[in-house]
Amino acid sequence: MIQEKEIHLRDYLRVVNKRKWAIVTFFILTVLTVVIATFTKTPLYQASTKVMIERNTAGALTSTYSYTPYDPEFIETQNQLIMSASVVKKAVDALGPEKMYGIVFAGKKEKTSWFSGVGDWFKEQYAAFRSMIGIDAMLAAGNVVEKAMPDDQQAVPLTKAQILEIVIKKNISVTPVQNSRILQIGFMSENPAVAMNVANALARAYIDELIDMQMSVSGYSIGWMTQKAEVQRKKLEDSEKKLHQYKKDHDIVTIEDRVTVLPERLSDLSRKLTAAENTRKELAAVYSQVRNVKKEKLETIPVIAENASVEFINQKILDAEQKLAELSKKYGPKHPRMISANNELKGLKESKYEELEKVVQTIRNEYQLAQAHERDLKAALEKTRFEAEQLGEKSIQLGMLQRNVDTNRYLYDALVKKMKERDITERNQSVNVWVIEEAKLPVKPAKPNKKRNVLLGIILGLFGGIGLAFFFEYLDNTIKTPEDVEEKFDIPVISTIDLIKGKNPSLAQNMMADASSLMAESFKGLRTAVFLSAADTPPKSLLITSVTPGEGKSSVTACLAISIAQAGKKVLLIDADMRRPTQHKQFSLDNTAGLSTFLAGVSDAETAIHAGVVENMDIMPAGPVPPNPSELMISKNLSHMLSDAAQKYDMILVDTPPLASVTDPVLLSKQVQGVILVTWAGKTTHEMLGKGLKQLREVDAPLTGVVLNYFNAKKSGYYYNYGDYYYASTSETS
C-alpha cells in the first residue's frame, strides 16, 4: 500500500544535491544565453511626451465648468485613439515619409551580430531544403497563377509611408501617470533623434485628430439640423395656411374673442332669466289677488295700500273729513260751506277709486311686461346656447390646427436656436489636451537594461535549474532510496548494494578474490540483515528473485552465498532459473547436470551438486534448459530435496527467474522460509515493485525484505546520510 510521504527540507536538499549538475548546466546555459543576447542586441532609445487630458464639461454658451463624473473608460479610449492608424498617419505625414524612411532604415543591412550570422546560416540551409523537396517550384507555379489574375486582385506593394506607419505603431507606448490626468506618449527607436521627433509628432497628431473629429461631428450635426430646420419650416408654413383657410371657410376670424365672451354671456343670461322668472311670479301673485278682489276691498291688498298716490288721496280724504267734522259743529247740513265740504270729500273718494283703478292697471301692465321680458330672456339664452354649441364643434378642429401650428413653430424655433448655438461653439472641443512636457533627446538606451537582464538571467537560471531538477525528480518514478521502498510499500530494505564499476569478469569472482573490498562489505551487511531477520533463528532457506530481468538478482545471490560461506556457514546455492541460468557461468561450472536433471529424475542430488566450489559452499546449477520448467517446479522431488538439504546445510539460497516473466518464484515461495526481492535503484519503478510485491503477498510469501542493488549513494543524493556506512571499516565480525 502506497502511503503519503511527509516532505522535509532535507528531502529538497537531497534532490538539489542529486541533480546539481543539471542545475549547474541549466544555470550556465541560461546566464550565457542572456549575456550574449543582451550584449549583442542593438540598443533602443525611448523618448516620451507628457500630455494632460481633461474632459470638457463647459456649457454650450457658457465658460463655467460642471462636475466631471468618474469614467474609467475615458483614459483607455484616449490610449486607443493615440495608437490609432489615423493618428500615426498624421504623425508620419508631419515628419515627412521620404526623409524619415531614410533615417529609420539607415544602416540596417550593415548591422550584423552573432545571432544574425547564425540566422543567416539557418536561412541558407532552409533555402537549400526547400529547393531539394521542390517547394520553390510549387511557389513559382503559384506566382504564375497570381500574375494571371486581374490587376485589381494582385497584392500591391507597401509604400514607404505605410511601412513607417507599421513600424511606428509597433513601437508606440502610452502609459498613464498614476493618480493624474497625464499620459506619457513614448516611442522607442535605435536612433535617439527619431525617438524624440516621433514622440512629439504623435502628441501633435493626437491633438489634430481630436480637432478634426470635433469639426467633423460639428459639421455633420449642423448640416443635419439645417436640413431638419428646412423641413420643419415647410411644415410650419403648411399648418399656418390650413389654420387660416379653416377660419376663412367657417367665418370665425374673430373666434378668439367670442370664445371668451360666450361663456360670460350665457352666465349673465341665465342669471337675468332667473331674476325675471322670480319677478314674474311675484307680479303674477299680486295680479291674481287684485283681479279677484272687489273694488271696495282693493285697499286691503298691501301692494295697493302702500301705493304713494293712494296714500296721498287717503290723507286728503282724512283731512276733508276732519274739516267737515269741524264745520258741522258750527253750521248746519245745508250751509254752503257744509255743502262745499261734502262735495270736496265726495270728489276725493271718486278720485281715490280712479287711482285704485290706475294702480290695478299698473300691476296688470307690470305683470304682462314681466312675462314678455321672461320670454325675451329665454329666447336670447337659447340662441346663445346654440351659438356656443356651434362654436364648440368648430373650436375642436380649430384647436387641433392651432396645436399643430404651435408644435411646428416650437420645433422650428428649437432647431434654429440649437443651430445657432452649435455654430457659435463649433470649435469648443469635448476633450482638452495640453502638452506639458515635450520629448527630449534620450542619452541612455532604454533597452537592453544590461544589469537587470544579467540579474534576471542569474535568477532565472538558478530557480529554473532548481525547478527543472524537481521536474525531473517528479517525472522519475523509479526506486531511488531505501526510504522510497519502506515508506511507500511498508517493507524493509535489508541492504543496499553499491554501484561497482570496472569489475570483471563477475562480482562473485571479484568477491572471492578480495574479501575485504568495499563490495564485500556491502554483502556482509546483507548477510547480517539476513541473520537478524528472524527473532529466534535465521531462515534456513531463502528465495532470491527480482521484478524484471537484469536487476542483478543472480549476482546478489552468488555474492550473498559467498559472504555466508566466508562466515563459516555451510551454504547450498541452487540455480532455479532454468530458462536463463547464470550461476554456472559465474563460477565456471559444468551445466550438464543440475536442478533440471534432478527434478526430471535423470540424475541424483549428489551428481547435480558441485561440492566445494567455495569453502563451505556447494552449488546446484540449473542444468540443461528443459521444455517444461514450471511443471518441474511443482514436482515433489523439489520439496524432498529442499527438506533433505535443510538437514545438511546451514543456509539454502535459491536463485529464481524474475516475477514479471514467469510464476516460478511465486510457486517456490511456498517451500522456503524467506523471500528477498532484488531491485535496481534508478531503474525499477514503483509500479513494477508494487506489482511484484502484490504477487508475493497474494500467496502469503514469507517476505524477508528488499535489496536495493546498483545503489549510487552520491548520485542519488543519499551520500551524506549513508556515507559512513559505505566507507566504514572493512573488517566485520559475523
DSSP assignment of 495-549 equals EEEE---S--S-HHHHHHH-TTSHHHHHHHHHHHHHHTSSSSS--SEEEEEESST
User: What's the pLDDT score for residue 235?
Assistant: 80
Residue 69 pLDDT > 80: no
Query: Which of 104-113, 145-154, 375-384, 590-599 reaches the highest mean pLDDT?
Result: 590-599
The predicted-structure confidence for 149-189, as pLDDT tens digits, reads as follows 455 545 567 888 888 888 888 888 888 888 888 888 988 88
Q: Residue written as cell 532535507?
A: 10
Residue 387 pLDDT > 80: no
Which range (139-143, 169-173, 206-210, 515-519) has the least confidence?
A: 139-143
DSSP state of 550: T
Tell me if 680 sits within 8 A of 451, measured CB to CB: no
Phi-psi map region of 179: left, alpha, beta (phi>0 left; psi -120 to 50 alpha): left
The pTM for the full model equals 0.49
b/e per residue, 28-64, with b = 16+ CB within 10 A?
eebbeebeeebeeeeebbbbbbbbebeeeeeeeeeee
How would you write 329-395 as a 3-class SS string?
Answer: HHCCCCCHHHHHHHHHHHHHHHHHHHHHHHHHHHHHHHHHHHHHHHHHHHHHHHHHHHHHHHHHHHH
Nearest to 559 by CA among 618, 513, 525, 511: 511
pLDDT range class, residue 144, cuts 50, 70, 90: very low
- 227/55 Cα distance (integer angstroms): 30
Rg, the chain, Cα only: 67
H helices present in 548-685, as ranges: 553-566, 583-586, 595-599, 605-608, 629-633, 636-648, 664-668
- 87/201 Cα distance (integer angstroms): 9
User: What's the pLDDT score for residue 651?
Assistant: 92
pLDDT range class, residue 206, cuts 50, 70, 90: confident
- Provide the Cα torsion 239, 244, 250, 251; round to 10°: 160
The predicted-structure confidence for 292-302, as pLDDT tens digits, reads as follows 666 656 666 66
pLDDT range class, residue 426, cuts 50, 70, 90: low
Tell me if 331 sits within 8 A of 299, measured CB to CB: no
User: What's the pLDDT score for residue 130?
Assistant: 61
DSSP state of 685: B
Question: Mean pLDDT over residues 222-240, rounded?
Answer: 77
Non-local (6+) Cβ contacts of 67 within 8 A are 57
Residue 508 pLDDT > 80: no
For residue 569, give the C-alpha cell: 556457514
User: What's the pLDDT score for residue 61?
Assistant: 46
DSSP assignment of 282-344 equals HHHHHHHHHHHS-GGGGGGSHHHHT-HHHHHHHHHHHHHHHHHHHHHHHS-TTSHHHHHHHHH
DSSP state of 411: H
Residue 505 pLDDT > 60: no
User: What's the pLDDT score for residue 305?
Assistant: 62
User: What's the pLDDT score for residue 49?
Assistant: 92
H helices present in 158-307, as ranges: 160-170, 192-249, 255-292, 302-305
Q: At CA 19, angle to CA 18 and CA 23, rounded to 5?
A: 145
> In this structure, how many other beta carbons lie within 10 angstroms of the beta carbon of residue 543?
30
The β-bridge partners of 432 are 54
User: What's the pLDDT score for residue 41?
Assistant: 83
Residue 502 pLDDT > 50: no
The predicted-structure confidence for 236-280, as pLDDT tens digits, reads as follows 788 888 777 777 776 564 444 445 566 777 788 888 888 888 888
Question: Mean pLDDT over residues 676-682, rounded?
Answer: 89
Burial of 379 (0-12, 13-18, 19+ CB in 10 A): exposed
The predicted-structure confidence for 683-729, as pLDDT tens digits, reads as follows 888 888 889 899 888 988 899 899 988 887 666 555 444 433 333 33
Residue 437 pLDDT > 60: yes
Residue 685 backbone phi and psi in degrees, to 5:
-85, 165
Residue 601 pLDDT > 80: yes
- 261/60 Cα distance (integer angstroms): 46
- 147/236 Cα distance (integer angstroms): 63
User: What's the pLDDT score for residue 720?
Assistant: 41
Question: Mean pLDDT over residues 326-345, rounded?
Answer: 78
User: What's the pLDDT score for residue 404?
Assistant: 81
Residue 59 backbone phi and psi in degrees, to 5:
-70, 170
Nearest to 654 by CA among 671, 634, 637, 640: 671
**288 against 437, higher pLDDT:** 437
N-to-C CA span, the chain: 34
**Upstream peptide bond of 505 is cis (omega within 30 degrees of 0):** yes
Which range (353-367, 634-648, 663-677) has the least confidence?
A: 353-367
Tell me if 384 sits within 8 A of 262, measured CB to CB: yes
pLDDT range class, residue 678, cuts 50, 70, 90: very high
Tell me if 594 sits within 8 A of 621, measured CB to CB: yes
DSSP state of 684: S
The average confidence (pLDDT) of the chain is 77
User: What's the pLDDT score for residue 369?
Assistant: 86
Residue 632 pLDDT > 70: yes
The β-bridge partners of 571 are 617, 651
For residue 687, give the C-alpha cell: 509500479
The predicted-structure confidence for 512-562, as pLDDT tens digits, reads as follows 767 677 777 888 888 888 888 776 788 889 999 999 888 888 889 999 999
